[in-house]
Amino acid sequence: MGKLLVLGCVAIDTVRTPFGEATEVLGGSATYFSTAASFFTDVDLIAVVGEDFPEEHVEFLRRRKIDLTGLERRKGKTFRWQGEYTDQLNDAHTLDTQLNVLETFRPTIPDHYRSPDMLFLGNIDPELQMDVLNQVKRPNVVACDTMNFWINGKRDALWNLLKKIDVLIINDGEARALGQETNLVKVAKDVLARGPKRFIVKRGEYGVLMFTDQHVFGATAFPLETVKDPTGAGDTFAGGFMGCLSATRDFSEAGFRRAIIFGSVMASFTVEAFSLDRLRELDYKDVESRFRAFKRLTHFEDLS
């Protein structure tokens, strides 16, 4: 088993969906990612919270055995996000964003974090992502996420970062904004030419696509009877994906495809409840069981 390092945000969310509302709950890209990844591997976390961040949330992350040496607590308020989903659950409508302590965050990497086997640069300023990448010994796999805010506001810095990473993981709307093209195949060709070896496009209820120079792999989303809150599903996908790779250290095409399915499994659990409530009650047997169900769902050879 390897060591997985994640940079991202730990947040307080308020979310409204057609199925209910959750106020002032645990959120943030690094929170969802590290929780999902912790089912597979050891996780080191780099993030910042304010003095108002509830200790119960810190204890939850500790119970997941996530190393919190890199979680800074600063004077001020924690990053907050408020969003709403309509019946079209693939897209969140942001109602309010308060950067608070995240606005001036400049991560310092603890010494025992500096030689990770794998690194995930969560959705944050690409200049900060590059700064963290430059502070660590080159990992086996470096993956990153981003969003339209950075794509539109810091495109040059983002393209510079992509020259140095192995895997880009973004959703289909972000992919089209990045490539300035509606056709995802054309976007993938452009992205792969700029540095990443793999380009993964999250498509919500329509599943995931993974592009390389030689292959395209598609996985459906797992059909669910209960969907309450899509918040964090993409980050949970990335956590399951990178966690699986860290645990298996199988970087073959088959290994990456297996990791895609484990990422999809973790995302499918997340949407079944608000915040991280569904992940709190999981154990690894639940993850394995849904992975097997996922395999049966997509298997089509020699059926009679």
User: Which residue, among 146, 174, 173, has the nearest Cα to 162 in the 3D structure?
Assistant: 146
- Integer Rg of the chain from CA: 18
Check if the beta carbon of residue 33 is closer than 8 Å to that of residue 239: yes
- Give the count of beta carbons closer than 10 Å to the beta carbon of residue 59: 10
- Would you give the end-to-end CA distance of the chain in angstroms? 39
Q: What is the 3-state secondary structure (H, E, C) of 39-61?
A: CCCEEEEEEEEECCCCHHHHHHH
Interval 245-278: pLDDT, tens: 999 999 999 999 999 999 999 999 999 999 999 9
Positions of the chain with pLDDT under 50: none
Classify residue 92 as left (phi > 0), alpha (psi -120 to 50) or beta.
Answer: beta
- Give the count of beta carbons closer than 10 Å to the beta carbon of residue 222: 20
Distance CA 200, CA 167 (A): 7
DSSP-assigned letters across all residues of 217-261:
EEEPPPP-S-----TTHHHHHHHHHHHHHHHH---SHHHHHHHHH
User: Which residue, among 208, 126, 108, has the nearest Cα to 164 in the 3D structure?
Assistant: 126
Length of the chain: 304
Q: Which two tokens stand for residue 5?
A: 């390092």
Q: Please state the domain extents for the chain.
A: 3-298
pLDDT for the residue numbered 302: 58
Interval 109-148: pLDDT, tens: 999 999 999 999 999 899 999 999 999 999 999 999 999 8
CATH level 2 (architecture), domain 3-298: 3-Layer(aba) Sandwich (3.40)
Strand order in the sheet with 141-144: 67-74, 42-50, 3-7, 118-121, 141-144, 167-171, 198-202, 208-211, 216-219
pLDDT for the residue numbered 2: 72
pLDDT for the residue numbered 86: 87
17 forms beta bridges with 20
